[in-house]
Structure 1
């Protein structure tokens, strides 16, 4: 729900006139005559141009005194990648989304991204049109609006889930931001069934959901997740209080449907963030294509798979463990080792479902575990224990807002973890769009083509033209390699 610097006015005009979903979340249209702000895809009649003002984010429109539209629902807009200031704004936005301002201050947030408080406010105003506090407040308000519209949760639970500690403050903020009390939203929507929560997760098209499921399905861990031809299911949460998730595509609309059973409503923001990261729902395909289309091999990949996204990860530690298990073995072999790991060291869920009845082991549990028993070589078992210990002690973490180079340095400092593994984890666990494992043999071979495999240095040099979208280049080149194998078979 935050956007990058505002596109040119003529681009906004055309996108708004065409109701182009590719620009959803990249700007917001405020209408002076009505006092509301809308997404580019709003189905309402097009207002006169002289009554329109464009804003780079929902927070900027809200700060200018506009209210969110009830028809197009700005709370559904996907996020966007922000360029500028060594990605300080992007890192700060990720930290805000992870709750950095729920308890902390703007000064603490600024220190986390390496800026002063005044400097952070200045770059935020330049990039998003609003201050960090305004962005945080708008995010909370729009989440509450979505939960009021799409769920039957009591208003008190929605207030808590949205980060409000006081029902009185929630009512006051909602009245100020939306121009009506929370109950008015409830009266305007249709009946919402109680029980399973179902939320709409919107993205900018195109998105190849079957391709994402195929990638995740080959790497799915039995007992934790289950991937079908058109469905992703997962269990998370503590052993005695499981949360079951189901994600499916919505036909004929650029959105996924997230169904949630169980759990504390206060955990909803975290669940939504994890699902959006898992399916890379905040990607900007148009910007990715513009950044990669100049390379012939990538231009082929973009034509073949325009909806390709970078598959994320539900949990950073889980993905890092899976990456270590996959060192020097096939994808199928790593999946087998992951299944054994969960069976041997993952707790059983007493209220589990068939196929979704395990808890992934914690870092503390794996730090001293006899991992050789699942078939790991001693060196790789030692690497996995070192990783688990580093995470348990806080020396390595997978939280939002980390700089790519710092994260990679922290991982490669561990025995048995090299740059390839570190960049792969950054690509999927952190969702870092510029992660690039230059030592990957497949990348070197595909880029070298008939002239022979490139060196790691040559591969790194070639990749500079693709920044900040190198992770997408990696996925395209991997798939192109698979295409070549099929064509030559």
Structure 2
């Protein structure tokens, strides 16, 4: 089977034989003699070339009757960034599938959300991924269940719920029909970490990945009491406040191409949504090769790409939270914005109660309802800025603006700039950090206007936009490289992570 999204056959062969991690998730290797499909990094002895077929997606391999390898574990492969990013119809449809839309809505609803016909959507998936939207959804659920069965001690009933199955019987039937073994049989074969309150999951990525730079960016903007970023990890408590859950993300030991996600007190039905949100937040599905190929012809960006080949877009945990931070941060420094936003969180966010309350986790970020009519001048906001915060909160409640995965960049900017107090810079910044949009470009940013020429001069927004056309559809990565280059060197930081109380 061939697909436009597959690398050419020779590249696939070379990547498979050399176990090249840069191609992990870009294709899967199915072996006819075993009936198994693998990642290109699989450590098992390489099969004969005549027994190998390449597929662009795990769901395509499963649709052809192959089952996932228990050794390389395809559920750990990062997503193909070429088809999960940006404004392409397939990219937006995949993002909606990742949000679980097909769990309770028909394919026609997915097609309507991305503004194409159902037949055309099927054709696009077949042409580009070699599978169907329903197939992607089904494989996504089963592979997540397989990961939970392999890596955790969650009861099988909870695993079924976490994977989106309302019936344990249905889950057992589908799992056994697809993988030719019962869920409990897989669990017996796979070693797991000792049982405890904290679940540990791998979040795979395609190297190179600059996790240190990611933490640097997030740490400079971390809100005291809401989130905690130290030298090795990012942590926060998530709602509701009365029964909060806790998460922490750190590097997986021994150089494995994965982040380590620790979860505590997260309901099974919310686990997959948490994982997908963190994959976006830490930009784990990006393809550095494709991005570098689009940007390295620019003489200003070329040395920056060589210096930081693994730089990713650091999104935020929640789009509304990023929006309020951005409004507060207009025309003031990052440090000042952090101070004022922390006051807002303390004044209007729900206090965390119970064992997860600690010195570093005291409040949840305020909800739109809490801010829509709040008196914000007491925390240091001007009347105009306070009015904009309330306007944004009310617009989110009304549905005039949102962070919908189906929205194109143009639609997103148009809707947000229709709000009083929100200009193109803020809207594009929200697209970059709220959506993780790879082509978001705040052309009015003063740092970018000075950093691109890098000779003491400053470009206009129009000049900057014209120059950046050659960077599309990855302008957001150019923004991060230029911002990072303009930042002062990081200071030594505490390497001891903060643990929640048990």
What TM-score comes out, normalization by structure 2 length?
0.94
| Cα distance in 2 for residues equivalent to 1:92 and 1:246 | 29
Q: Does 1:173 align with 2:174?
A: yes
Q: Name the residue aligned to 1:268.
A: 271
CA shift, 1:440, in A, is 1.2
Partner Cα separation in structure 2 for residue 127 and residue 328 of structure 1: 44
Deviations 1:237-291 (A, max 9, x none): 2011111111110131111110111021111001111211121111111111111
Aligned length: 484
1:325 paired residue number: 328
* TM-fit CA distance, 1:223: 1.1
Q: Mind listing any 5+ residue stretches in structure 2 that lack a counterpart?
A: 492-502
Question: Partner residue of 1:57?
Answer: 57
**d(CA) in 1 for partners of 2:154 and 2:395?**
39
Cα deviation code 1:419-446 (max 9, x no counterpart): 1111111011101101011111221222
Partner Cα separation in structure 1 for residue 124 and residue 249 of structure 2: 36
2:297, 2:169 → 1: CA distance?
A: 54
Against the structure 1 CA distance between its residues 474 and 4, is the aligned structure 2 distance closer, same or farther, given a 3 Å change threshold? farther
Q: Which has the higher helix share?
A: 1
- Identify the match of residue 458 of structure 1 among 440, 444, 463: 463
Match of 1:244 in 2: 246
What is residue 404 of structure 1 aligned with on the other side?
Answer: 409
Matched, 1:433 2:438: yes
Name the SS of the counterpart of 1:402 in structure 2.
coil
Q: Is the CA contact 1:4–1:80 (under 8 Å) kept in the aligned structure 2?
A: no
RMSD: 1.7
Q: CA deviation at 1:126?
A: 1.0
Q: For residue 353 of structure 1, give the secondary structure of its aligned residue in structure 2.
A: coil
Matches within 5 A, 1:360-439: 360-439=365-444
Report the CA distance between 1:355 and its aligned residue. Answer: 1.4
> How big is each residue's C-alpha offset from its partner over 1:290-344, in whole Å with a ceiling of 9 and x where there is no partner?
1100001111111111111110110000011111111011000000011100111
2:300 is aligned with 1:297: yes
- When structure 1 is superposed on structure 2, of 167-176 and 151-160 the one drifting more is 167-176
2:496 is matched with none
Higher relative contact order (CA 8 A, sep 6+): 2
Contact 2:86/2:473, CA 8 A, preserved across alignment: no
Partner of residue 88, structure 1: 89
Contact residue 327 and residue 389 of structure 2 kept, 8 A: yes
* Deviation digits for residues 104-147 of structure 1 (CA, Å, limit 9, x no counterpart): 11111011101000000000111111010011000001000000
SS in 1 for 2:261: strand
Correspondence for 1:33: 33
CA distance in 1, matches of 2:138, 2:260: 25
Q: Which runs of 5+ in 1 are unaligned?
A: none
Q: Report the counterpart of residue 334 of structure 1 in structure 2.
A: 337
Most deviating of 351-360 and 226-235: 351-360
Structure 1 residues 283 and 4 mapped into 2: Cα distance closer, same or farther (>3 Å)?
farther
Deviations 1:142-194 (A, max 9, x none): 00000000010011111011011111111111112211110111110124322
Cα offset, 1:86, TM superposition:
5.3
Alpha-carbon distance between aligned partners in 2 of 1:107 and 1:4, rounded to the nearest angstrom = 25
Q: Which residue of 2 aligns with 1:481?
A: 486
Q: Distance in 1 between matches of 2:5 and 2:87?
A: 15
Q: Where do residues 115-194 of structure 1 align in structure 2 (5 Å cutoff)?
A: 115-194=116-195
Instruction: Name the stretch that deviates more: 461-470 or 36-45.
Output: 461-470
1:85 & 1:430 partners in 2: Cα distance? 10
Contact residue 151 and residue 191 of structure 2 kept, 8 A: no
Q: After the TM superposition, which parts of structure 1 deviate over 6 Å for at least 4 consecutive aligned residues?
A: 483-486
Secondary structure of 1:358's aligned partner: coil
Is the Cα–Cα contact under 8 Å of residues 235 and 246 in structure 2 kept in the other structure?
yes
TM-score (ref. length: structure 1):
0.96
In the alignment, which residue of structure 2 is the partner of 1:210? 212
1:395: how far off? 1.2
Change (3 A) 1:485 1:449: farther
1:71 is aligned to 2:71 = yes
CA–CA distance in structure 2, aligned partners of residues 255 and 51 of structure 1: 30
Residue 485 of structure 1 and its aligned partner are, at CA, apart by: 13
Please report how far the alpha carbon of residue 452 of structure 1 lies from its aligned counterpart in structure 2 after TM superposition: 3.0
* Residue aligned with 2:138, SS: helix
1:359 paired with 2:364, answer yes
